[in-house]
Amino acid sequence: MTQIILASGSPRRREILKQIGVDFRVVVSNDEESPKSANPLDFPRENAMAKALAVSAKEPGSYVLGFDTLVFLDGVPLGKPKDEKDALEMLNKLNGRTHWVITGVAIAKDGQVVDAQQERTEVFFRKNSLQELEKYVDSKDPMDKAGAYGIQTQGARLISQIRGCFYNVVGLPVARTLEMLGKLKVNV
């Protein structure tokens, strides 16, 4: 059986892989995210490639999955909030608006990227009151999430609809990942 490694410490990504029955182990990439592209929309794929490569170099013979998720508002990436004030500012920017969530997916083997792609989902925030946003920030839920919200947790209250892959917004686009592994003839 082919060894699959998840190059991420994200509990959400682990849960999704378990949910879909993928046998894997975790080796967290310590690679610092420093994309080189002039186009911010390429950052998620570049970051995913760097994470997968960093682990792949130490794990010969294994397929290594790297992921990176960013929220984009008007083409500008929103990462994880620095503090509660930053989280509230991000949520206020997203409030009542549409934005994109882009997740880069990379697969590396023997120190080489064998496939790298991106998944994009459109997310519509409903018009939330300031009190609702503050209550959400007080829950501490937004603190470790790109764009300062989690669609799979209390952040679901902030969203009116999505167009695209739900799991992409959580951080691991299931269909795209399975298609990529399938093209490589990796049994999962």
Catalytic residue numbers? 68
In whole angstroms, give the CA distance from residue 90 to residue 33.
Answer: 20
Residue length, the chain? 188
Nearest to 95 by CA among 52, 35, 158, 146: 158
Residue 184, token pair as written in the block: 């490589």
Task: Say if residues 167 and 16 touch (Cβ distance below 8 Å).
Answer: yes
Nearest to 148 by CA among 94, 74, 67, 68: 94
In whole angstroms, give the CA distance from residue 130 to residue 166.
Answer: 26
In whole angstroms, give the CA distance from residue 99 to residue 90.
Answer: 12
